[in-house]
Amino acid sequence: MTQRQMQMRLGLGAIIAAAFLILYAIPQWISSPSNVRNIVLSPLFWPYALAGFTGLAGLGLVASGARLRGPDTLVNEPVQDTGAAWMRLAGMAVIMVATMFLLPRLGMVLTSMLVFVATAFLVRTRHPITALVCAVIIPLVLYAFFAHVAGVAIPQGEILRLP
Amino acid sequence: MSFLDSLAAGLSLVGNIEAFLALFVGVAIGVVGGAIPGMSATMAVALTLPFTFAMQPITGILLLLGVYKGGIFGGSIPAILIKTPGTPASSATILDGYPMAEKGQAGKALGMALWASCTADVISNLALILFAGWLASFALSFGPPEFFTLILFSLTIIAGVSGESLLRGALSALLGLLLATIGLDLVYGTNRFTFGDPNMMGGLNFIAVLIGLFAIPEIIAMVWHPTAHVGKARSLGKNWVTFAEYRRCFKSIVRGSFIGVFLGSIPGIGAAPSAFLSYSEARRTSKNKENFGKGEIEGVAASEAGNNGVAGATLIPLLALGVPGDVITAIIIGAFMVHGLQPGPMMFILNVDIIYGLFIGLIVSSVFLFLIGSVAIRGFKYVADIPKRILIPAVLVLCIYGVFAVNNNIFDVGVMFVMGWVGYLMVRYHIPAAPFLIAFILGPLLEDNFRQAMLMSGSDPTILFRGPITWFFWSLTVLTIVAIARAGVRAVKASRFLPEDPTR
């Protein structure tokens, strides 16, 4: 992605987001009492104003992107295998969704152990044994601190119940 | 309450082993966190925040301040030894620090970095003690219109100077303000973007948003590109900094410290620009200007004084006005809020013991920084050896525990993950995260003060121009926008004179 592409995409994204907010999201998802006499004091005023400014910022980004010249150098460092990189990103998203699903069921300690192992192998660790040892120790140490020192009710889950 | 009474109250609050231990541990965590490339002082402070929930307010805040100060210095160690700044504020230190390391003078460069950091830290802390109270007493006369214009000015400058482009900074701040509208309306109590979910009615949890924004994108970036390269650490060499060298650089250190204090007290500018400005001023006035960039010890001293001079000064707007000066102080304001404290002028009346306790702690932190820094310089190779691909999953697990601990709520973990992806997109699209977070914190204050002003005046907007203070902040806001827009237009014009890329 070049500087110009980035600026244009951002600008268009901001304009679309502003249009979505003004035309759909704010009327649909913000409720305002019918007896508010002055629009300035209404709960709708601030979101409308911010959405309007977002649209203006988007227009500004498109305009400045269109005026950009000069060498089209890439703005981000490229990776060697883009396909594999996208797969890893998808894997990370799956880990996060799975975390949300498993936290109330397996408890925080077991889920964290699984998350640790999955993430370490996703980033292709060169120390698998160390990763496994850390995956067990770190969640247990954190559990000990938060549950017994900070007094936080860490979810225990159905399989493993720690003291 | 007289000065001596306030001092005694502060001393009684921090005069215990826990407070000093927290400060010591904080500085140590900060130095290690700052010294690990890819971790940064910001991330170290964000990850330490959940551990402060169980502590007394003053102890927790001192722990975070220790991490902040340690982190800013810690970043200079890898900058000098492996040419990788541990934190963005240390980027200027590379210019002369690494060439010195290449010449076998790494120990000398690190020693000077430590001396300059500690000197600047002391000057910065003294500036905080002298000016914060004065500014707070001035701010006591502020009403809603004055606070509205002050926050608007702060947001303008933060959005303008935090990134490469004013428009991208403004977009970031606007997104932060929009996110802050989620929850129940401040005046009428109606739903705004809550989708009927009770978890959303109190708004999004601040700590989930900040950890999501500053720690998770690092993890996602590591997943995208796992083979992050870390250079080989150089040996310290036999040379150590001498008193004569410190004396030779003293003028640059003091000048850099004052630059840091000045830039740090303006919300939004932060440590990295201060370090570069201090460096360029030292080069401009030095007798050895031709040596700068080739391993000049004065360059290391100036850049380290510049970035550490900011550390105390950023607390001036935080404590006196309740406006965070940079991302780290935005995180520290979270610690205040978790403990039911609201930084700002009223804090100097209601919680003067905490204010003076912090001042005492900050003075002691400079001594701890010197002691821990001396040890850390020699122990860096052990820190550099921590495999990053083990560290990153550990950070993820720490984030999950930390965010859950805020409200005992799994929903917050989900918010953190979503914000992590938002933060990663912001990194990819070069949208600065600082205006987003600071706008998210200041958004409710901005809206609240605006609506209070409107209620006071019967919706007459002229109340926003009611006196010299409001006019002063409006003028500063306009000047800032004009200055930053002019700089942007110049940059675009300059790019038009560059030759067209034939591949396009």
Are residues B278 and B140 in contact, defined by beta-carbon separation less than 8 angstroms?
A: no
Question: Rounded to an integer, what distance in angstroms lies between the CA atom of residue B141 and that of residue B466?
Answer: 13
Contact residues, chain A, for B389 at CB < 8 Å: 120, 123-127, 131
Q: Beta-carbon neighbour count of residue B140 at 10 Å? A: 12
Contact residues, chain A, for B174 at CB < 8 Å: 50, 53-54, 57
Residue A121 has pLDDT above 80, yes or no: yes
Among the partner-chain residues A29, A31, A75, the one whose CB lies closest to the CB of B430 is A75
Does B414 sit within 8 Å of A139, measured CB to CB?
A: no
The DSSP element (H or E) to which B191 belongs, if any, is strand B191-192
Measured between alpha carbons, how far is residue B285 from residues B177, B298, B407 in Å? 43, 11, 53
Nearest C-alpha in A relative to B501: A71
Does B447 sit within 8 Å of A67, measured CB to CB?
A: no
**Residues B464-475 pLDDT 10s:** 999 899 999 999
Does B54 sit within 8 Å of A142, measured CB to CB?
A: no
Residue B333 has pLDDT above 50, yes or no: yes
**Residues A53-71 pLDDT 10s:** 999 999 999 998 887 766 6
**Residues B133-184 pLDDT 10s:** 888 888 888 899 999 999 999 888 888 777 778 889 999 999 999 999 999 9
Nearest C-alpha in A relative to B56: A150
- Across the range B201-230, mean pLDDT stands at 84
Residue B127 has pLDDT above 80, yes or no: yes
pLDDT of residue B419: 95
pLDDT of residue B75: 86
Does A40 sit within 8 Å of B459, measured CB to CB?
A: yes
CA distance, residue B152 to nearest chain A CA (Å): 13
Nearest C-alpha in B relative to A144: B401
Does A153 sit within 8 Å of B495, measured CB to CB?
A: no
Residue B499 has pLDDT above 70, yes or no: no
- Helix/strand/coil (H/E/C) assignment for every residue in B96-142: HHHHHHHCCCHHHHHHHHHHHHHHHHHHHHHHHHHHHHHHHHHHCCC
Does B492 sit within 8 Å of A68, measured CB to CB?
A: yes
Lookup result for tokens 């970036």: B221
Among the partner-chain residues B190, B461, B495, the one whose CB lies closest to the CB of A32 is B190
Contact residues, chain A, for B178 at CB < 8 Å: 21, 47, 50-51, 54
Helix (H, G, I), strand (E, B) or coil at B84: coil
Structure ipTM: 0.94
Among the partner-chain residues A70, A134, A146, the one whose CB lies closest to the CB of B390 is A134
Does B408 sit within 8 Å of A72, measured CB to CB?
A: no
The dihedrals phi and psi of A31, each to the nearest 5 degrees, come to -105, 140
More confident residue, A100 or B325: A100
Residue B503 has pLDDT above 80, yes or no: no
Does B393 sit within 8 Å of A152, measured CB to CB?
A: no
More confident residue, A133 or B141: A133
Does B54 sit within 8 Å of A50, measured CB to CB?
A: no
What share of chain B has pLDDT > 70, as a percent? Answer: 95
Contact residues, chain A, for B428 at CB < 8 Å: 1, 76
CA distance, residue B48 to nearest chain A CA (Å): 12
Residue A161 has pLDDT above 50, yes or no: yes
- Across the range B183-207, mean pLDDT stands at 88
**Residues B17-66 pLDDT 10s:** 999 999 999 999 999 888 887 778 888 898 899 888 888 999 999 999 99
Residue B366 has pLDDT above 70, yes or no: yes
Asked which of B86-95, B176-185, B388-397 is least confident by mean pLDDT, the reply is B86-95
Question: Rounded to an integer, what distance in angstroms lies between the CA atom of residue A10 and that of residue A2?
Answer: 12
Contact residues, chain B, for A77 at CB < 8 Å: 225
**How sure is the predictor about B504, in pLDDT bands with cuts at 50, 70 and 90?**
very low
DSSP calls for chain A: -BHHHHHHHHHHHHHHHHHHIIIIIHHHHB---TT---GGGSTTHHHHHHHHHHHHHHHHHHHHHHH--S---BSSPPPS-HHHHHHHHHHHHHHHHHHHHHHHHH-HHHHHHHHHHHHHHHTT-S-HHHHHHHHHHHHHHHHIIIIIIS-------SS----
Contact residues, chain A, for B387 at CB < 8 Å: 125-127, 130
- Across the range B324-331, mean pLDDT stands at 85
pLDDT of residue B501: 46
CA distance, residue B436 to nearest chain A CA (Å): 13
Most A CBs within 10 Å, among B171, B415, B427, B492, to test the A interface: B171
Question: Rounded to an integer, what distance in angstroms lies between the CA atom of residue A19 and that of residue A111?
Answer: 40
What share of chain A has pLDDT > 70, as a percent? Answer: 97
Question: Rounded to an integer, what distance in angstroms lies between the CA atom of residue A121 and that of residue B38?
Answer: 19
Contact residues, chain A, for B496 at CB < 8 Å: 67, 69-70
Enter the pTM of the model. Answer: 0.86
- Across the range B360-377, mean pLDDT stands at 90
pLDDT of residue B82: 80
What share of chain A has pLDDT > 90, as a percent? Answer: 59
Residue B486 has pLDDT above 90, yes or no: no
Most A CBs within 10 Å, among B49, B178, B399, to test the A interface: B178
DSSP calls for B329-391: HHHHHHHHHHTT---STTHHHH-HHHHHHHHHHHHHHHHHHHHHHHHHHHHHHHHHTS-HHHH
pLDDT of residue A90: 96
Phi and psi based region of residue B196 (left: phi greater than 0; alpha: psi -120 to 50; beta: remaining): left
Among the partner-chain residues A47, A92, A143, the one whose CB lies closest to the CB of B192 is A47
Does A46 sit within 8 Å of B393, measured CB to CB?
A: no
- Counted across chains A and B, CB pairs separated by less than 8 A come out at 203
Residue B398 has pLDDT above 60, yes or no: yes
Residue B280 has pLDDT above 60, yes or no: yes
Among the partner-chain residues B177, B226, B400, the one whose CB lies closest to the CB of A99 is B400
Among the partner-chain residues A14, A31, A70, the one whose CB lies closest to the CB of B495 is A70
pLDDT of residue B230: 52
More confident residue, B281 or B39: B281
The DSSP element (H or E) to which B95 belongs, if any, is helix B91-102
Q: What is the mean pLDDT of chain B?
A: 86
Contact residues, chain A, for B488 at CB < 8 Å: 64
More confident residue, A76 or B271: B271
pLDDT of residue B1: 65
pLDDT of residue B235: 67
pLDDT of residue B256: 93
Does A139 sit within 8 Å of B387, measured CB to CB?
A: no
Question: Rounded to an integer, what distance in angstroms lies between the CA atom of residue B325 and that of residue B374?
Answer: 29
**Residues A70-85 pLDDT 10s:** 666 677 777 778 889 9
